[in-house]
A and B are shown apart, each in its own frame.
Chain A
Amino acid sequence: AQSVTQLDSQVPVFEEAPVELRCNYSSSVSVYLFWYVQYPNQGLQLLLKYLSGSTLVESINGFEAEFNKSQTSFHLRKPSVHISDTAEYFCAVGFFSGGYNKLIFGAGTRLAVHP
């Protein structure tokens, strides 16, 4: 079975500080890894994904995540956050089962950026 653990439910941080949102997963099959972001009162948007190849993946707005197979982790980092990064972030593992691609989500980490 597959599962995702987001180790922090809330992360407060000051503007321009670095941040790391932690995600660990367990799976008995090969998985793909995703980070989704949800801004207040909106749906989920894909932030970045790891399918194969380079273990470091980046988003267009400065976030990056590194796939670590030995530690089964996919932590999300940003070197300098903005107020506009305040949102909830969801880590998810994807895998193929029964003819479709399934996602298992973590419980989410609420990032609060303070001035």
Chain B
Amino acid sequence: NAGVTQTPKFQVLKTGQSMTLQCAQDMNHNSMYWYRQDPGMGLRLIYYSASEGTTDKGEVPNGYNVSRLNKREFSLRLESAAPSQTSVYFCASSDLAGGVYEQYFGPGTRLTVT
């Protein structure tokens, strides 16, 4: 069981470039999430997917799009990167139906936008 995996681990982009962050989970969880972590601000929810086929905005969705490709995979896309999107991005998953109340996190993607 790999849990939640994320690729890439590190990325440097120039302003205006685009990229997609990949996330996959092998725990058969229904819900998946994308967070960003900035110093002194904890984790803030960008987008979430309660189940396959659905996605919804979180607290800080501007500048991002997501795709729930299937039950396992949930990707985050930056269409035109900005320096304000420099952050560490975490993917997580959980499952209400299985009585799993906590979220399980991936190792993160450290993104720098210059």
Interface of chain A, main secondary structure: strand
The winner among B40, B43, B106 for most chain A CB atoms within 10 A is B43
Are A101 and B101 also in contact (CB < 8 A) when A43-B106, A43-B107 are?
yes
Contact A99 B102 (CB under 8 A): no
Which residue of chain A is the closest to B59 with respect to CB atoms?
A: A104
Bitwise interface map of B from 19 to 33 toward A, beta carbon under 8 Å scored 1, else 0: 000000000001100
Interface of chain B, main secondary structure: strand
Contact of A105 among B30, B42, B104, B106 (CB under 8 A): B42
Q: Indicate if B70 sits at the interface (CB-CB under 8 A).
A: no
- Alpha-carbon distance between A90 and B35 when the two chains are bound, in angstroms: 14
- Alpha-carbon distance between A79 and B74 when the two chains are bound, in angstroms: 40
Instruction: Count chain A residues whose beta carbon lies closer than 8 angstroms to a beta carbon of B.
Output: 25
Contact A51 B96 (CB under 8 A): no
Are A100 and B50 also in contact (CB < 8 A) when A43-B90, A43-B108 are?
yes
Q: Indicate if B34 sits at the interface (CB-CB under 8 A).
A: no
Contacts of B75 in A (CB 8 A): none
Contact B50 A9 (CB under 8 A): no
- Alpha-carbon distance between A103 and B37 when the two chains are bound, in angstroms: 14
- Alpha-carbon distance between A32 and B94 when the two chains are bound, in angstroms: 14
Q: Indicate if A61 sits at the interface (CB-CB under 8 A).
A: no
Contact A107 B107 (CB under 8 A): no
Contacts of B92 in A (CB 8 A): 44
Query: Given A99-B50, A102-B45, list of 11 further CB < 8 A pairs?
Result: A34-B102, A43-B90, A49-B101, A49-B102, A96-B96, A98-B56, A99-B96, A101-B101, A102-B48, A105-B42, A106-B42
- 9 A-B residue pairs with Cβ-Cβ distance under 8 Å, sorted by A, are A43-B4, A44-B90, A49-B101, A100-B48, A100-B51, A100-B94, A107-B40, A107-B41, A107-B42
Which B residues contact A (CB, under 8 angstroms)?
Answer: 4, 30-31, 40-45, 48, 50-51, 56, 90, 92, 94, 96, 101-108
